Amino acid sequence: MKNKERYKVTVYCNQCGERYILRGNRLKTGEIETGFKQCICNNESKFHIFTERLG
Ligand SMILES: [Zn+2]
């Protein structure tokens, strides 16, 4: 039985308006890991992030 919780993560860049739709896994620490690092405009910190539980 799998214990991983999967999430759909939508990231909006506040700097240029780009949108990313990612898959995320919930870590034991409670964080959602997506591997997302930065936007194409080099913004690394100014985002709106929405997470949605899958299945
Ligand atoms: Zn951007």
Give the Å distance between the CA of 4 and the centre of ligand 1: 30
| Structure token digits, residue 19 | 């949108």
CA of 3 from ligand 1 middle (Å) equals 34
Q: Note the pTM of the prediction, 2 decimals.
A: 0.83
Percent of the chain topping pLDDT 70: 95
Q: 26 C-alpha vs ligand 1 centroid, how far in Å?
A: 24
Q: How far is the CA of 51 from the centre of ligand 1 (A)?
A: 19
- Contact by Cβ (8 Å): 7, 23: yes
pLDDT digits (tens, 9 = 90+) for 3-19: 678 999 999 999 999 99
Residue with tokens 């929405």: 50
Domain ranges of the chain: 6-53
Handedness of CA 43, 39, 44, 22 (dihedral sign): positive
Q: Residue 22 Cα, ligand 1 centroid: separation in angstroms?
A: 15
Q: What span, in angstroms and rounded, lies between the C-alpha atoms of 23 and 52?
A: 10
Q: What is the pLDDT of residue 5?
A: 83
